[in-house]
Amino acid sequence: MPGVVGIRMPAASPRWLMGVQVCDAPHGYDNTAQAYAAQTHIVEWHLAPAKVRRLLPSGQVMETLPPSGFIVRPAHAQLGLVASGPARFVHFCIGDTFVRTVAVDWLGDTADRDDLLRIERVMCSDASIQPMLDHYLRRALDEEEPPTRLEMDSRAHLVMLQLLKRHSALAQKGRRVRRSGGLAPYQLHRVCELMTQDLAEEVPLSELAAAVGLSYHHFCHAFKASMGLAPHQWLVGQRVEKACELLRTTRESVTEIAAFVGYDDPNQLLRVFRARRGTTPVAYRRQFQGRST
């Protein structure tokens, strides 16, 4: 897009289902002469108050972006957009396969369509989705406690499901799928075993769901109904529990223990441990060493 500068971020992991890029257009932008067509679907969330309009080829204004609104840009769609002043916005990049997967999980095979995000009006304001975008972005930019892939995949699914329910070709036809009360005991045992057999590795939520024969969407809700926590939150608890065990029973360093339970940076373990236990790993170990002497 002419006049737009992308800001590279290490957090914008290509492994995530919804990539992130923060962009600046310090002088505004006008792409009506050569409309920008992205290869992926993009949710473009505007953070600066510049007035943004969508123009038809005739120059007629078709839409104006509401304050703090976002634009749903379908892949390969040519949208003529004009920002009349300095603009800062975030691109949430979403692959078509992911969009279709969430749609099918929600409504079944009939939802597998080419035009899921091709809606007449693409400029949106939604008080239920904007906080989700804000939280996703904040976690993506969090260098003190970098998010896990499991967490970001889970957040991406929640964002995408709401977009499909409220701003897609399915929005008017959508129906709420009946959710089960929770996982069966054998299913719960299986997924917990998969998640904890190697705490240094993250099993994607899609694989966990497939292991017990559920769609991603149903699995996430059933797991939370059974455990009272989202999968990534439960996994953090297991990592802290294992770290406590190793601190009590081994002489491994905190750095080695952090790596064993899935944290490359021991400072990540420190922050999580303090939040969960109200103390530091070193102080926790000292308590037990003192008891044994």
Are 156 and 17 a contacting pair, CB within 8 Å? yes
Per-residue pLDDT at 30 exceeds 80: yes
Mean pLDDT of 94-98: 93
Mean pLDDT of 100-116: 86
Per-residue pLDDT at 177 exceeds 50: no
pLDDT reported for residue 14: 58
Tell me if the pTM is above 0.85. no
CB atoms within 10 A of CB 52: 25
Q: What angle (nearest 5°) sits at the alpha carbon of residue 197, between those of residues 240 and 292?
A: 45
Higher pLDDT, 1 or 155: 155
Half-sphere exposure of 171 (CA within 13 A, CB side): 14
Indicate the pLDDT class of residue 292, thresholds 50, 70 and 90.
very low
Three-state DSSP class for residue 80: strand
Q: What angle (nearest 5°) sits at the alpha carbon of residue 24, between those of residues 20 and 29?
A: 120
Per-residue pLDDT at 182 exceeds 90: no
Q: For residue range 59-68, list pLDDT tens digits in order.
A: 889 999 988 8
pLDDT reported for residue 293: 39
